[in-house]
Amino acid sequence: MAGSTFGTIFKITTWGESHGKGVGVVVDGCPAGLSLCEEDIQKFLDRRKPGQSKYTTPRKEDDAVEILSGVFDKKTTGTPISLVVFNRNQQSKDYSEIASYYRPGHADYTFDMKYGFRDYRGGGRSSGRETIGRVAAGAIAVKLLNQLGITFTTYTKSIGPIAVSSQNFDTSEIAKNPLYMPDAEAAENAQNYLDACMAELNSSGGVVECIVSGMPAGIGDPVFEKLDASLAKAIMSIGAVKGFEIGDGFDAARATGRSNNDAFCLAKDGSVTKATNHAGGILGGMSDGSDIILRASIKPTPSIAATQQTVNKSGEQIEVSIKGRHDPVIVPRAVVVVESMAAIAITDALFANMSARMDSLEKFYR
Amino acid sequence: MAGSTFGTIFKITTWGESHGKGVGVVVDGCPAGLSLCEEDIQKFLDRRKPGQSKYTTPRKEDDAVEILSGVFDKKTTGTPISLVVFNRNQQSKDYSEIASYYRPGHADYTFDMKYGFRDYRGGGRSSGRETIGRVAAGAIAVKLLNQLGITFTTYTKSIGPIAVSSQNFDTSEIAKNPLYMPDAEAAENAQNYLDACMAELNSSGGVVECIVSGMPAGIGDPVFEKLDASLAKAIMSIGAVKGFEIGDGFDAARATGRSNNDAFCLAKDGSVTKATNHAGGILGGMSDGSDIILRASIKPTPSIAATQQTVNKSGEQIEVSIKGRHDPVIVPRAVVVVESMAAIAITDALFANMSARMDSLEKFYR
Amino acid sequence: MAGSTFGTIFKITTWGESHGKGVGVVVDGCPAGLSLCEEDIQKFLDRRKPGQSKYTTPRKEDDAVEILSGVFDKKTTGTPISLVVFNRNQQSKDYSEIASYYRPGHADYTFDMKYGFRDYRGGGRSSGRETIGRVAAGAIAVKLLNQLGITFTTYTKSIGPIAVSSQNFDTSEIAKNPLYMPDAEAAENAQNYLDACMAELNSSGGVVECIVSGMPAGIGDPVFEKLDASLAKAIMSIGAVKGFEIGDGFDAARATGRSNNDAFCLAKDGSVTKATNHAGGILGGMSDGSDIILRASIKPTPSIAATQQTVNKSGEQIEVSIKGRHDPVIVPRAVVVVESMAAIAITDALFANMSARMDSLEKFYR
Amino acid sequence: MAGSTFGTIFKITTWGESHGKGVGVVVDGCPAGLSLCEEDIQKFLDRRKPGQSKYTTPRKEDDAVEILSGVFDKKTTGTPISLVVFNRNQQSKDYSEIASYYRPGHADYTFDMKYGFRDYRGGGRSSGRETIGRVAAGAIAVKLLNQLGITFTTYTKSIGPIAVSSQNFDTSEIAKNPLYMPDAEAAENAQNYLDACMAELNSSGGVVECIVSGMPAGIGDPVFEKLDASLAKAIMSIGAVKGFEIGDGFDAARATGRSNNDAFCLAKDGSVTKATNHAGGILGGMSDGSDIILRASIKPTPSIAATQQTVNKSGEQIEVSIKGRHDPVIVPRAVVVVESMAAIAITDALFANMSARMDSLEKFYR
């Protein structure tokens, strides 16, 4: 099956393994006339780069992106944009042992079940490096959306039990701490928590939140292509994500209609707005013009140095301890991946929406 | 845009509005040779039928399904199965007033924003009746999967703050209470809670859980077509769903690697299994052979009799109270919808998986 | 597999067998605000109706279409339009014999090979009645395109060896003869030819030509979604079509660059136009603003009364003669089917094109 | 819009311009376990390489392919195979003049109309180099199909008015002449014809024919995904193709039912076969087990040195003569492109077919 393509009109296809020649993405359906250079993409990739703090793997990756096609005279041409990051720092020897057994929490076993064998070097296609293609494509989607007035604010909402508090919430803090938390105090507490995890050869999960502002109302679809459904698929397709929420999410299940309904009201300019935003900006699958608010639950890094039980390919029960240094938490590096996938899904929905009404069509074509 | 089709190889297309001539679905890609009759589908539709308890709207719906194509000599032929339920009990007059304003928590406003106008009778395409097509298709998918040894257990996990307890958990209770809860005590408490909600002209949300047993390992895809991502889209595309979890879901964000990783171990027959199932049966986007466990968060019914603030189409701020009787909770009726969408997504993934390996292909075609 | 859906953004899904309860189509992605009633569709269906001359099967079909959804207050709502034609005149007994053998030129054998068995009544899903769904959807597409200034002229170009001559070409003749030929003399000759075929228990093939005027330039895609490629799939998906041409088609293979290239020149209003149109209105996969000219080769009706050799399901070589009266030529009835499929493909391409440029996007969304 | 992806389950995405950094393809959905190396692909690319005779452009291209992903231990892993050919011999200066005007028969004008501007160097995305990605992917599809017993014979059927004769037909001749014709005499005549074309600064069209042997019966679909319809789209998506035929193609339009129907008969081993093959191996959209026979009409190379009329971007009527040496005929180089696209379409159809029957599914999964 072909599972490496996402999107219908704005469509990305990623490829590449952790320890192959490189990883990349083909972005097809980007409109002509968007100014684009490698630096636009590089700055997004740098947000997911490892080795930036003690909470990310020290594996050094240059991750320098090259644009191979689709850009001419510094503008997109409307044809596919091929982006590649060549792998430069892979060390296959580190991974030779894991070929023989199934790491708990990893896809080693399921790969073998589906394909009969696997590229066991560094997780192969299930490596975190697979997200490079997503982020490179996301950089283009975000740039395009910015030009339409749509902006993203994405950050770490919680690490293990340590959550950002609403009273300390300050987006200017996001870039100031290695965990990308919009709350200086929470960031410090979370770092202490991670230090303790590391001391115990353990790892932590967390939550990423993404807020999309400036969305026009009416984007999405009332049935299967609901905007929240497309966002859910986009976000849940990121490795390690185990849950997705829009607006109040699972809290809505505990709420009542009186508290959960958002009253419509009139803005000063007479436009329709909402008094609250429990819905997270989407009603009936279509954007309502408020901020879209979504969250992803990210599981703890499965690679831990602590001893674990597993089985090997010879059918023996064994004990293993994952060698090498790994991120004790992948949440901070996932922030830009969540933003990228959200932007890709929204771009596709915006494009699909253009033929929703005869009056728009007539204006466009007559 | 065309948003009423779900699936790639096993593909369903729903149509119909609450107060039009009927609602239906075309199921395309169903293999030839599955024995199928209207009763197979009817018994699924009956699980979502209103008027079965005081917790569902008393609107009487016959919801008698007709098979219009794709079945010959009581077996599917491999060609599209067209299923229709004609609307018989709609009363447009009840809904005439809501044409003029936007009901809080409903899609009235977003429909107008997207399409310029809307079929305002009974929610039109956003009505709960839209799920009839999903459930009719789901009945086919579940029957097909049962024949491959895959079974579903789906129920209400919680209503508002009242959750099923693990020590009382008993699947034989599900069919015994109107809320489809696998815990007699919780069901009683939940009914009391709903009675209180109704007395306050209020409504409640809740959580549906679905367990899929007998899945072969290796189904899904490592990247965008991860089985959990496809399930997420399937489930989040159901109206009123605000969150999706697989396995431990949002609890995984608060967990550590030590507690969240599932150790692989050997079953008595020597096959590989897992000691725990925090992952919910999916690793790296592919099924691992354990039960798939998923949950949907469902918001409180937005139609409440209590007075609410909103705006009308003339741009005035008004107070409204939604007339007519509505379900104080839609969770019990959503149980079969969640099961249906899960089954549809899994069927599609199983079909896509058949060409994953050369050895299977050679066995199939040589 | 799911093979009954065509299109991506403007998407149709057909269903139904010759002798089942009915045939129909779901049209998804039609913009909101197109005025539409059953009469709009009926007049298209009437163009393919049998029993209108001695050259079409006398089987009487009412083919009265019903709109089941997607239209409110006489306008499309943007949600799926479900159209159904109930079968009223099928006589299964006429077809019981053919269950036992494979008719030459028909799909009986290939159906059995693919699905293991078949609905043998009247060709089942391979019946000409399958085109009712296409034509019903085509009526909507043509109406929509007309509103954008795009019009269709479709006719029989040849019957067997009798072709329309360019000097007699007169579109006002098309509706005046039962063969839909734009040349009165050719139409008469073709009728004589068909009379002779019928006398010999034989049938004839022919060619349908379709001219699309008023196309904006730049619609289509340079690579796989070339407009001519999409049209080719649309037209070749019609039963009995064995060849497709755009512009000079197979004559281009015998031509030289000097004669085949169309010189660009300036129209009186200063716009770019072409001195000739060998290309048939498409260059590099995209419309060039000239008329799109396409042709379909349609094979002779395979159902003939003459004795033929075949085999039966018991593995015996037998002689058969197809009983019942059948169209001695299906070309005239295929005219509206070709037009419908062309319109559907073009509508989809127009919708997909709307996001081709950043400047259009900014105008649309800001 | 995203138009550079072809296929559903076996899916290819091409990218790259003539004078960008390179051209490539991502092949997604290739089963795991196919042995594959760069040499497998290189030998296909060499069949389309220019500079091999005086009838192809002397532009020297290395066209050395690199596999960047999806292959491990010399076998495909089931994940995307990224293939790249870096451009090494492009000379942008040769093409600078054509930026200002629209070459007749080329896509310059339609590109400007769609995208607002174009990469004018060497045709950009409309260059013949775009086919490198198709052929690289086709090499994989053909290798895979060969392993299932399906083989391809593809050749030049005619050049201008010079056609292969059926009595001289000899497939061993194909590789012996630069035109890839299976008829030594026709090849010599065609070379003389081309010499005359070149002397007149002219070019020629021609026809490519492809025969697919060993197809299992029942592959394809009765409605929109007819195997011939998918093949038509695949072949018509190749630049310069203006017509497509299956079996007797346009000759069927001039035939009668008696002559065109293929009688079914019994092979010596008792299996069902056909006495003739006018249908070209496909009945009702599904393969019938006979050879699939298809043809593509290819227009004359539009780049000719003779003086032509056109207009420039300043709105002036001008005379141009296309500088540089170009292929006087592209038919021989298109042979491998036609074979590649046919193989890709057939592979996708074979994969989609695997879920057509319940009995196959039960055998596969139980």
**Would an 8 Å CB–CB cutoff place D17 in contact with chain A?**
yes
Instruction: Check if the beta carbon of residue C342 is closer than 8 Å to that of residue C231.
Output: yes
Confidence tier at B50 by pLDDT (50, 70, 90): low
Show the 3-state SS of A46-108.
HHHCCCCCCCCCCCCCCCCEEECCCEECCEECCCCEEEEEECCCCCHHHHHHHHHECCCCCCH
Asked if D127 and D98 count as a contact pair (C-beta separation under 8 A), the reply is: no
Contact A283, B113 (CB under 8 A): no
Decide if D72 touches B, using CB distance below 8 A: no
Residue corresponding to tokens 């690490």:
A159
The reply to whether residue B24 touches residue C70, judged by beta carbons under 8 angstroms, is no
Question: Averaged over C142-164, what is the pLDDT?
Answer: 98
Asked if the Cβ–Cβ distance from B15 to C114 is below 8 Å, we say no
Q: Is A233 on the interface with B (CB under 8 A)?
A: yes
Tokens at D316, concatenated: 């002036």
Q: Do A28 and D119 touch (CB under 8 A)?
A: no
Q: Which residues of C touch B81 (CB under 8 A)?
A: 15
CATH code where residue B257 lies = 3.60.150.10
Q: Are D27 and D12 in contact (CB under 8 A)?
A: yes
The C-alpha atoms of residue C161 and residue C39 are separated, in whole angstroms, by 36
Integer Cα distance of B346 and B226 in angstroms: 11
Q: Do B81 and C9 touch (CB under 8 A)?
A: no
Amino acid at B189: N
Which of chain D's residues have a Cβ under 8 Å away from the Cβ of B358? 31-34, 76, 144, 147
Cα first-last separation, chain B: 42
Tokens of A42: 């590089």
Which residue is listed with tokens 């070379």?
D191
Distance of CA C65 to the CA centre of its chain: 18
**Cβ neighbours for D10, distance < 8 A, ≥ 6 positions apart:** A2, B355, D27, D28, D29, D30, D141, D344, D347, D348, D351
Band of the pLDDT at B58, cuts 50, 70, 90? low
- A vs D, Cβ pairs < 8 A, gives 163
B199 to chain A, any CB pair closer than 8 A? The answer is no
Contacts of A167 (CB under 8 A, 6+ apart): none
**Greatest pairwise CA separation for chain D in angstroms:** 71
This prediction has a pTM of 0.97
Q: Which residues of A touch D118 (CB under 8 A)?
A: 72, 77
What confidence tens digit (pLDDT) does each residue in A283-308 have? 999 999 999 999 999 999 999 999 99
Instruction: Report residue A84's pLDDT band, with 50, 70 and 90 as the boundaries.
Output: very high
Neighbours of B228 (CB within 10 A): 32
Q: Are B281 and B292 in contact (CB under 8 A)?
A: yes
CB contact under 8 A, D9 and B10: no
Nearest residue, CB atoms, B357 vs list D33, D216, D361: D33
Q: Is A212 left (phi over 0), alpha (psi -120 to 50) or beta?
A: beta
| Residue B90 in contact with partner chain C when CB distance is under 8 A | no
* D364-to-B226, B273, B354, D354 alpha-carbon distances in Å: 21, 21, 8, 10
The subunits that touch chain B, with at least 3 C-beta pairs less than 8 Å apart, are: A, C, D
Angle at A110 between CA A106 and CA A111, to 5 degrees: 95
Chain B closest-CA separation from residue A48 CA (Å):
18
CB atoms A255 and B299 under 8 Å:
yes
Is B63 near chain A, with CB under 8 Å?
A: no
Question: What is the pLDDT tens value at each position of chain D, 366 positions in all?
Answer: 799 999 999 999 999 999 899 999 999 999 999 999 999 999 999 998 765 677 776 556 678 999 999 999 999 999 999 999 999 866 556 677 778 999 999 999 999 999 998 888 888 899 999 999 999 999 999 999 999 999 999 999 999 999 999 999 999 999 999 999 999 999 999 999 999 999 999 999 999 999 999 999 999 999 999 999 999 999 999 999 999 999 999 999 999 999 999 999 999 999 999 999 999 999 999 999 999 999 999 999 999 999 999 999 999 999 999 877 678 999 999 999 999 999 999 999 999 999 999 999 999 998
The minimum CA-CA distance between B99 and chain C, rounded to whole Å, is 13
Kindly identify which residue of chain B lies nearest to residue C117, measuring between CA atoms. Answer: B77
CB spacing of D236 vs C246 below 8 angstroms: yes
**Under 8 Å between Cβ of D216 and B365:** yes
* DSSP assignment string, A217-285: TT-B-SSTT-HHHHHHHHHHTSTTEEEEEETTTHHHHHSBHHHHSPPEEE-TTS-EEES--TTTTEETT
CB contact under 8 A, A32 and C222: no
pLDDT band at residue A98, thresholds of 50, 70 and 90? Answer: confident
| Residue A134: CB atoms within 10 Å | 27
DSSP letter assigned to residue C312? B
Q: How far apart are CA B325 and CA C28, in angstroms?
A: 32
In our burial notation (b when 16+ CB lie closer than 10 A, e otherwise), range B236-256 reads bbbbbbbbbbbbbbbbbbbbb
Question: Which chain B residues touch D357 with a CB distance below 8 Å?
Answer: 31-33, 78
For B15, the closest of C9, C69, C119 (CB atoms) is: C69
Q: Does C115 touch chain B (CB under 8 A)?
A: yes
Domain count across chain D: 1
DSSP per-residue codes, D133-177: HHHHHHHHHHHHHHHTT-EEEEEEEEETTEE--TTT--GGGGGGS
In chain C, positions 160-179, which contact chain B (CB-CB < 8 Å)? none
Chain segment B86-122, per-residue pLDDT in tens: 998 665 566 777 789 999 999 999 999 999 988 888 8
C contact test, residue of D157, D260, D351, D358 with most C CBs within 10 A: D260
Instruction: Identify the domain containing residue A219 by its residue range.
Output: 5-365
H or E stretch at D189:
helix D184-199
Q: Residue A296 to residues B46, B224, B236: CA-CA distances in angstroms?
A: 35, 16, 14
Least confident of B269-283, C33-47, D88-102: D88-102
* Chain A nearest CA to D73, separation (Å): 8
Provide the 10 A C-beta neighbour count for residue B34: 21
Which of B:280-309 have CB within 8 Å of C? none
Distance from CA of A309 to the nearest CA of B (A): 5
8 A C-beta contact, residue A288 and residue A263: no
Question: What pLDDT, on a 0 to 100 scale, did the predictor assign at position C88?
Answer: 83
Q: Is B5 an interface residue toward D (CB < 8 Å)?
A: no
Structure tokens at D76: 């495909």
First CA to last CA distance, chain C: 42
- At C120 the pLDDT is 86
| Cα-based distances in Å from B364 to D79, D133, D289 | 21, 29, 16
Q: What is the pLDDT of residues B198-235, one digit of tens each?
A: 999 999 999 999 999 999 999 999 999 999 999 999 99
Contact between B17 and C69 using a beta-carbon 8 Å cutoff: yes
Neighbours of chain D (3+ CB pairs under 8 A): A, B, C
Asked whether the beta carbons of residue C23 and residue B69 sit closer than 8 angstroms, the reply is yes
User: D35-60 as b/e, with b when 16 or more CB fall inside 10 Å?
Assistant: ebeeebbbebbebbbbeeeebbbebe
Residue of C nearest to D316 (CA): C266
Window from A75-79, B346-350, C32-36, C94-98 with minimum mean pLDDT? C94-98
Closest CA to B202 of B52, B98, B308: B308
H-helix or E-strand spanning residue B76:
strand B75-76
Triad C148, C281, C180: Cα angle to 5° = 75
Coil vs helix vs strand at D10: coil
- Asked if A352 has any chain C CB less than 8 Å from its own CB, the reply is yes
Find the range with the poorest average confidence among B317-331, C46-60, C236-250: C46-60
- Going by the DSSP 8-state scheme, the letter that residue C32 receives in this structure is B
Find, among D60, A299, C129, A69, the residue nearest to B250 by Cα: A299
CB C339 within 8 A of CB C138: yes
Mean pLDDT of chain A: 94
Which residue in D has a C-alpha nearest to residue C162's C-alpha? D254
Please tell me if residue D248 touches chain C, with a CB cutoff of 8 Å. yes
A183 inside 8 A of chain B by CB: no
D217–chain B Cβ distance below 8 A for any pair: no
CB of C1 within 8 Å of a chain D CB? The answer is yes
